Structure 1
């Protein structure tokens, strides 16, 4: 019935907001902002009505959660980086019907998730920053999904992504984009060194690690990448433990996927972290490679991924 038209891995660095403001950082993240605007242009061209964001700034300690309120509006200041994002206004239409459908099908696939449609819960900046540049005209509805998951398995996150794709394709009357909002390596510069690393990655190791991952994405080496994802998330200081990336790969078909990444905004360093805007063609897949739900185990390990 419905269609998944676009899938991407996107940056949400708060310096994008600083880039708008008069001062020494003005204009310095225009490439990332332009990347978001290009993704929005393509979404409009493809007829997307709703953007689902896997948000690595939404921390949850139990269950997966989904914010599908009717509308969000307010003024946001980051508790993490209030000197980067302060008093940023936002207004975003939601999609309660789609959110509840996504949760229903995910639960049927063995991944416990709760949809919150009648809620005062507001999005985190992993959703707010992309929507600022992709959805200033409120053309799209949005749904935000928790992806900073402290007690969750990466393979359950992959299964969640696949279930959401099935929900759209089998039951939704509309067109959806899925965006994994998070960095590659995510080792912030040590306190006192942030200005020095404003446009750099923290270490040569992390730079090389990210460069190899981008190469793998462009070459379509997904079987190898899915196998290395748990270790990459740990050793690369993955943002949100890279649950957004696992969810995204679930939407695409996990290790069965054969597409190649298109780089919209080339890889860049920001406060020590590695960032990118990349898109992945949505291809037909059977879902045969999607991992099964993980039963409760005290050791926290599975054959596909590990609890981080």
Structure 2
């Protein structure tokens, strides 16, 4: 029925908003903004009607959650960085129907998930910032998924991504994009040193680690990356413990995935963290000739759940 047409790992750094405003940061994130606009162009070309954002700024302490209210509008100030994002206006349309479909399939596959289609909860800036540059005309409906998961296993997040793709392909009449909204390494500059690290990575170790990961992505070496993801999330200070990345890879086929990433915005430093915009080609996962994503996820995590 439905189709997952595009998958991307995207930045949502608040300095993108500062980049619009008069001041010392003006224009500094134009490359990231242009990357979002290119991803938007690709989505429109593919006929995407709904964007599902795995948002590493939505903290949850139990279950997985889907914000699929019919509409959001307001004026947003970040509680984390109110000097970066202050009074940013937003208006977005949601997709309650798809949100309920996604939650139903996730629960059917054993990943406890709640859809919130009647809520006063607004999306976090991991959703709001990208939609500012991709969806100001409200062309897309949007769903936000909690991806700052404090007590969750990465294998469950991977299975959630797989289940959501299954839900779209089997139960939804439309075309969808998945965005993993989060950084690579996410070690902010120490307090008092933020200006010095405005465009840098916090440490040579983290920068080297991130560059090696990006090279794996460009080579399509997903077997290696999936095996190292739990340690990378911990030792590399992955944003949201990299649950957004696990969700994304679950949808793509986990370690059975074999496509190279297309880098849209090259890796860059922001306030100590490592950022990128990258697109991952969506391949057919319907055949049974090789183990599908669910089998692959189950097999590879079964023996190593304690590492997560």
2:97 equivalent in structure 1? 97
1:291 equivalent in structure 2? 297
The Cα offsets for residues 250-291 of structure 1, whole Å up to 9 and x where unpaired, read as: 010101101110000000000000000000000012325443
Stretches of structure 1 lacking an aligned partner (at least 5 in a row): 294-300
1:297 equivalent in structure 2? none
List aligned pairs for 1:124-135, cutoff 5 A.
124-135=124-135
Shift in CA distance, 246/28, structure 1 to aligned 2, threshold 3 Å = same
Q: Following the alignment from structure 1 to structure 2, what is the Cα–Cα distance between the partners of residues 109 and 161?
A: 11
**Cα RMSD (Å) of the superposition?**
1.4
Stretches of structure 2 lacking an aligned partner (at least 5 in a row): 286-291
Q: Following the alignment from structure 2 to structure 1, what is the Cα–Cα distance between the partners of residues 305 and 279?
A: 24
List aligned pairs for 1:166-205, cutoff 5 A.
166-205=166-205
How far did residue 302 of structure 1 move?
5.3
Query: SS of 1:291's equivalent?
Result: helix
Shift in CA distance, 59/307, structure 1 to aligned 2, threshold 3 Å = farther
Alpha-carbon contact 1:250-1:290 (below 8 Å) kept: no
Q: Following the alignment from structure 1 to structure 2, what is the Cα–Cα distance between the partners of residues 124 and 144?
A: 8
1:219 equivalent in structure 2? 219
Alpha-carbon contact 2:66-2:143 (below 8 Å) kept: yes
List aligned pairs for 1:23-34, cutoff 5 A.
23-34=23-34
2:117 equivalent in structure 1? 117
User: Is residue 2:78 matched to residue 1:72?
Assistant: no
Alpha-carbon contact 1:49-1:176 (below 8 Å) kept: yes
How far did residue 304 of structure 1 move?
4.2
1:298 equivalent in structure 2? none
1:148 equivalent in structure 2? 148
Alpha-carbon contact 1:153-1:306 (below 8 Å) kept: no
Superposition misfits of 4+ residues, deviation over 6 angstroms: none
Query: SS of 2:79's equivalent?
Result: coil
Q: Following the alignment from structure 1 to structure 2, what is the Cα–Cα distance between the partners of residues 258 and 91?
A: 37
Q: Following the alignment from structure 1 to structure 2, what is the Cα–Cα distance between the partners of residues 17 and 258?
A: 35
Q: Following the alignment from structure 2 to structure 1, what is the Cα–Cα distance between the partners of residues 127 and 148?
A: 12
**Number of equivalenced pairs:** 302
User: Is residue 2:19 matched to residue 1:13?
Assistant: no
Alpha-carbon contact 1:159-1:290 (below 8 Å) kept: no
List aligned pairs for 1:45-64, cutoff 5 A.
45-64=45-64
Shift in CA distance, 7/305, structure 1 to aligned 2, threshold 3 Å = farther
Alpha-carbon contact 2:54-2:144 (below 8 Å) kept: yes
How far did residue 303 of structure 1 move?
2.5
Q: Following the alignment from structure 2 to structure 1, what is the Cα–Cα distance between the partners of residues 305 and 6?
A: 26
TM-score by length of 1: 0.96
The Cα offsets for residues 108-157 of structure 1, whole Å up to 9 and x where unpaired, read as: 01100000000000000000000000101100000000000000000000
